[in-house]
Amino acid sequence: MNATVIQVPFLNLMANIQQRAGEVRIRVGGNTQETAVLVESTPDGRIIEKDINGASNPVRVLDPSMTFFDLKLHDAFQTQTPPLDFTPDLLYMMRNISSFVNVRWFLGIPFNDTTNFRLAIAERGQEILGDYLIGLQAGNEPDLYTRHIAQSYGPYDYLGEMQNLVNAMNNDANVLNRNLLIGPNIATGDWHPEDVWNTGFVDALSDNLAYLAVENYPTDNCYAQFHVGNPVDPQAEFPAFLNHNAGKNIITKYLNSTAYAQTKGKKLLMFETNTASCGGFGGISDVFGAALWGLDYGLQMAYSNFSGALMHVGGQNVYYNVSLLTLEC
């Protein structure tokens, strides 16, 4: 796809969702956003160019004294995310999609170098997408940053960097809308949401926060993908998805946060979720039972005062992507 050639099956899928829901909300980002660079063109003319040889977990530039050896010590936590360059044509493609169907977009501001924020995606995103841009994620899973670098990083560090981001945006005349930020986007791995709320995060940044957000999965398939963690047998795991407690168990740890968000007049999003992180499972993520689980989980989130949720899809090797079916007579 590019700005002028958009796949019709994708538009049909978006139109089907719009017909039932009124609009579609899509996030373009994730781990890739942390190292993404907006360039005017790429050598091969593509709108996105990945550096596969540089694949890793996004590296934070916090300590200039860190060496390549220091970074290699953290290979156990790599998710093989390639750095990428992208051109404005990607944003024009998104805008053209929104001309056909009612799609609204979330983008992400790179957070791997918070001394020199790269705000081009916010600048050009607002210029090209206009009101179709409804949020800018600031930091993807910051509670996992300490797993990717040889330095401690806590909720107060994240708050400080968010304040630096707001200052950078305030000093950038090309960032016209400065109240689209989304945070804290934690995976509820090394921090709990309350750890962030207790820093005064919401009060300090209220004028700039469009949404509060968390990210979570019920399990992971990281051992099969990256040899991290413990192996999981999908068939032994599948029954856990087939009862009403499945969705409730994910959400229980966020009930304090949904109530807290209401007291602050903010909407709380489940900004990334699906059957399992690291690409999901064959035999779970791609079967009808997962669809039933997703419906029950989504309704449970709505009942628990989440204001929205984004089901994660990814590269061509993940099991929960939408597949095109070929019908033969």
Is 307 or 147 the better-scoring residue by pLDDT? 307
pLDDT for the residue 62? 42
307: CB partners within 8 A, 6+ apart: 211, 267, 268, 269
pLDDT band at 328 (very low <50, low <70, confident <90, very high): very low
* C-alpha to C-alpha distance for 130 and 151, rounded to whole angstroms: 38
pLDDT for the residue 147? 74
pLDDT at 141 over 60: yes
* C-alpha to C-alpha distance for 216 and 209, rounded to whole angstroms: 20
pLDDT for the residue 72? 28
Q: What is the pLDDT of residues 33-58, one digit of tens each?
A: 999 999 999 998 999 998 766 555 55
pLDDT band at 157 (very low <50, low <70, confident <90, very high): very high
Helix axes 88-100, 8-21, angle to 10 degrees: 50
Helix axes 88-100, 120-129, angle to 10 degrees: 30
pLDDT for the residue 134? 98
pLDDT at 76 over 90: no
pLDDT for the residue 71? 30
Question: For a pLDDT cut of 70, what percent of the chain falls above it?
Answer: 87
Report the pLDDT averaged over residues 10-36: 94
pLDDT band at 2 (very low <50, low <70, confident <90, very high): confident
Is 310 in a helix, a strand, or coil?
Answer: strand
Q: Report the chain's mean pLDDT, rounded to a whole number.
A: 89
The single-letter DSSP state of residue 107 is: E
- For the ranges 25-29, 147-151, 162-166, 309-313, the lowest mean pLDDT is seen at 147-151
First to last CA, the chain: 29
* C-alpha to C-alpha distance for 242 and 233, rounded to whole angstroms: 16
pLDDT for the residue 315? 72
- For the ranges 52-56, 138-142, 156-160, the lowest mean pLDDT is seen at 52-56
pLDDT at 67 over 70: no
Helix (H) or strand (E) holding 48: strand 48-50
Taking phi over 0 as left and psi of -120 to 50 as alpha, with beta for the rest, 45 belongs to: left
pLDDT for the residue 276? 96
- Burial of residue 198 (CB within 10 Å: 0-12, 13-18, 19+) is exposed
pLDDT at 73 over 70: no
Question: For a pLDDT cut of 90, what percent of the chain falls above it?
Answer: 76
Q: What is the pLDDT of residues 235-258, one digit of tens each?
A: 999 999 999 999 999 999 999 999
CA-derived radius of gyration, the chain: 20
pLDDT for the residue 37? 95
Q: What is the pLDDT of residues 180-224, one digit of tens each?
A: 999 999 999 999 999 999 999 999 999 999 999 999 999 999 999
pLDDT for the residue 329? 37
Q: Are 142 and 38 in contact (CB under 8 A)?
A: no
Beta bridge partners of 136: 107, 181
pTM comes to: 0.90
pLDDT band at 15 (very low <50, low <70, confident <90, very high): very high
